[in-house]
A and B are shown apart, each in its own frame.
Chain A
Amino acid sequence: MQENRENIIARLQKEILPLQGLKLPAANHALQLDLGPIAEAFPNKSFPVGAIHEFISHAPEDAAATCGFIGCLTGGLMRNGGVCVWIGASRKLFPPALKGFGVDPDRIIFIDLKKDKEILWALEEALKCEGLATVVGEIPEMNFTVSRRLQLAVEQSRVTGFIHRYRPRNINTNACISRWQITSLPSALGENIPGIGFPRWDISLLKIRNGKPGAWKMEWASDILRPITPFMVAIPQEQKRKTG
Chain B
Amino acid sequence: MSRRFVTIWFRYLKTDWLSRRQPSLLHTPFILAAPDHGRMLITAANIIAEKENIYPGMVVADARAILPGLQVFDDKPGLAAELLKAFAEWCIRFGPLVAVDLPDGLILDSTGCSHLWGGEAAYLTEINKRFYANGYHIRMAMADTIGTAWAVARFGKENRIIEPGGQLHALLSLPPEALRLEAGVIERLHKLGLRQVKQFITMPRSALHRRFGEHTILRIDQATGMKEEWLQPVHVVVPYQERLPCLEPIVTATGIEIALQKLLETLCNRLHKEGKGLRQARFICYRVDNKIITIEIGTNRASHHINHLFKLFEEKLSTIEPDLGIELFVLEAPKTEDLSPMQEKIWEGICSLENIRLAELIDRVANKIGATHIHRYLPDEHYWPERSIKQASSLEEKTNTAWRNDKPRPAHLLAAPEYIDVAAPLPDYPPMLFRYKGKLHIIKKADGPERIEREWWIEEGLHRDYYAVEDEEGHRYWIFRSGHYDQEKTHQWFIHGFFA
Assembly CA distance A184 to B474 (angstroms):
6
A94 interface contact, C-beta 8 A: yes
Residues of B within 8 A of A185 (CB): 474
User: Are B379 and A96 in contact (CB-based, < 8 A)?
Assistant: yes
B323 interface contact, C-beta 8 A: no
B80 interface contact, C-beta 8 A: no
Over the window 77-94 of chain A, the binary record of Cβ atoms lying under 8 Å from chain B Cβ atoms (1 yes, 0 no) is 000111101000000111
Assembly CA distance A60 to B373 (angstroms):
24
User: Are A97 and B361 in contact (CB-based, < 8 A)?
Assistant: no
User: Are A99 and B369 in contact (CB-based, < 8 A)?
Assistant: no
Report A125 CB to chain B, min CB distance, Å.
Answer: 6
Given A64-B499, A196-B445, A196-B446, residue A110 in contact with residue B375 (CB < 8 A) = yes
Residues of B within 8 A of A59 (CB): 475
Over the window 382-401 of chain B, the binary record of Cβ atoms lying under 8 Å from chain A Cβ atoms (1 yes, 0 no) is 00010011001001001000
Name A82's contact: one of B352, B364, B404 (CB within 8 Å): B352
Q: How large is the interface on B (under 10, 10 to 19, 20 to 34, 35 or more residues)?
A: 35 or more
Over the window 337-363 of chain B, the binary record of Cβ atoms lying under 8 Å from chain A Cβ atoms (1 yes, 0 no) is 000000000000111110111101110
User: Are A187 and B411 in contact (CB-based, < 8 A)?
Assistant: no
Report A16 CB to chain B, min CB distance, Å.
Answer: 30
Report A114 CB to chain B, min CB distance, Å.
Answer: 9
User: Are A125 and B409 in contact (CB-based, < 8 A)?
Assistant: no
Residues of A within 8 A of B409 (CB): 94, 96-97, 100
A232 interface contact, C-beta 8 A: no
Assembly CA distance A232 to B217 (angstroms):
89
User: Are A83 and B353 in contact (CB-based, < 8 A)?
Assistant: yes
Report B394 CB to chain A, min CB distance, Å.
Answer: 11
User: Are A125 and B411 in contact (CB-based, < 8 A)?
Assistant: no
Report B468 CB to chain A, min CB distance, Å.
Answer: 6
Interface residues of A in 121-163 (CB under 8 A from B): 121-122, 125-126, 129-133
Report A61 CB to chain B, min CB distance, Å.
Answer: 4
Name B356's contact: one of A125, A131, A194 (CB within 8 Å): A131
Assembly CA distance A69 to B470 (angstroms):
18
Report A59 CB to chain B, min CB distance, Å.
Answer: 8
CB nearest to A92 among chain B residues? B412
User: Are B412 and A199 in contact (CB-based, < 8 A)?
Assistant: no
Residues of B within 8 A of A106 (CB): 376-379, 392, 398, 403
Given A100-B409, A110-B376, residue A64 in contact with residue B500 (CB < 8 A) = yes
Main secondary structure of the interface of A (DSSP, over half): mixed
A14 interface contact, C-beta 8 A: no
CB nearest to B498 among chain A residues? A64
Over the window 96-116 of chain A, the binary record of Cβ atoms lying under 8 Å from chain B Cβ atoms (1 yes, 0 no) is 111111001111111111000
Residues of B within 8 A of A48 (CB): none
Residues of A within 8 A of B499 (CB): 64, 68, 97, 196, 199
Residues of A within 8 A of B39 (CB): none
Given A60-B412, A99-B403, residue A83 in contact with residue B498 (CB < 8 A) = no
B64 interface contact, C-beta 8 A: no
CB nearest to B315 among chain A residues? A121
Name B470's contact: one of A85, A98, A129, A196 (CB within 8 Å): A196
Name A125's contact: one of B364, B392, B468 (CB within 8 Å): B364
B126 interface contact, C-beta 8 A: no
Interface residues of A in 16-67 (CB under 8 A from B): 59-61, 63-65, 67
Assembly CA distance A132 to B362 (angstroms):
12
User: Are A82 and B351 in contact (CB-based, < 8 A)?
Assistant: yes
Report B494 CB to chain A, min CB distance, Å.
Answer: 15
B188 interface contact, C-beta 8 A: no
CB nearest to B370 among chain A residues? A113
Assembly CA distance A95 to B389 (angstroms):
8
B374 interface contact, C-beta 8 A: yes
User: Are B446 and A195 in contact (CB-based, < 8 A)?
Assistant: yes
A200 interface contact, C-beta 8 A: yes
User: Are A126 and B500 in contact (CB-based, < 8 A)?
Assistant: no
Assembly CA distance A63 to B500 (angstroms):
8
Assembly CA distance A140 to B365 (angstroms):
21
Assembly CA distance A188 to B143 (angstroms):
75
Residues of B within 8 A of A71 (CB): 411, 500
Name B361's contact: one of A67, A96, A105, A129 (CB within 8 Å): A129
Known pairs A83-B358, A94-B413, A105-B377; list 4 more (Cβ under 8 Å): A61-B477, A64-B497, A113-B369, A200-B474
A residues in contact (CB < 8 Å) with B = 59-61, 63-65, 67-69, 71, 80-83, 85, 92-101, 104-113, 118, 121-122, 125-126, 129-133, 183-187, 189, 194-196, 199-201, 220
Q: Can you identify 19 A-B contacts, CB atoms within 8 angstroms?
A: A60-B498, A61-B498, A64-B499, A69-B500, A81-B350, A96-B404, A97-B410, A97-B411, A99-B403, A99-B405, A109-B375, A110-B376, A118-B369, A131-B356, A132-B361, A189-B445, A194-B446, A195-B445, A196-B445
B residues in contact (CB < 8 Å) with A = 349-353, 355-358, 360-362, 364-365, 368-369, 373-379, 385, 388-389, 392, 395, 398, 403-405, 408-415, 444-447, 468-470, 472-477, 497-500
